[in-house]
Amino acid sequence: MNKRGRGRPKGSVGKAAILSSAQVRDVFQSARHHGKYSDRAEIVLALSIYLGLRASELAALRWADVYDSDGTVRHVILVHRAYIQGARSRRELVSSPKLRGFLADYREKQTPSLNYGEHVPLIRSQRGGHMTAASMTRFVTGLYREAGISDGSSRSGRRTLKANFSRLVSIQDQSPI
């Protein structure tokens, strides 16, 4: 790492790491042992790996974007595209049973007495508000470091999703149907 402990490790250049299935398992296992913030760590990783969300999009998610008023997980999540000129938002289909399970568990673990209004952040900072994109980036990168994945970054989940999707498409293109 550089002198201040921020950014990419010294000597690393290029693109974010694409995670193997063993590394994905390891990072989720490490996130479960993240102490007070284990729920937040799991949901951030799940949204990053299963939907390919950027750190800025994770930080901008609100409770009403993911859950209906009765607390059930929406079939389509509204993702706000931060820092992209001209793009307001996009819709992401939540079809993965694993992701739906992570989201349902996260809802159950949150304090039921809190008021989950339209503007309440899905992933809260330590002070209770929205996390910034920079703090989300540091949080996700720290999760990878704790799991022993030194070249993992906040973009690794997105790259992993795209790589797995590309592999599935190429396998389907080769099958004689």
Does residue 11 lie within any of the structural domains? Answer: no
Which residues span the domain enclosing 92? Answer: 21-174
Does residue 79 lie within any of the structural domains? Answer: yes
Q: How much is the pTM?
A: 0.81
Does residue 15 lie within any of the structural domains? Answer: no
45-64 per-residue burial string, b: 16 or more CB within 10 A, e: under 16: bbbbbbbbbbbbbbbbbbbb
Per residue in 45-102, pLDDT (tens digit) is: 999 999 999 999 999 999 989 998 888 999 999 887 765 556 677 888 888 899 999 9
Can you give the pLDDT at residue 175? Answer: 45
Domain of 131: which CATH number? 1.10.443.10
Number of domains in the chain: 1
d(CA 88, CA 84): 8
Q: How confident is the model at residue 177 (pLDDT cuts 50, 70, 90)?
A: very low
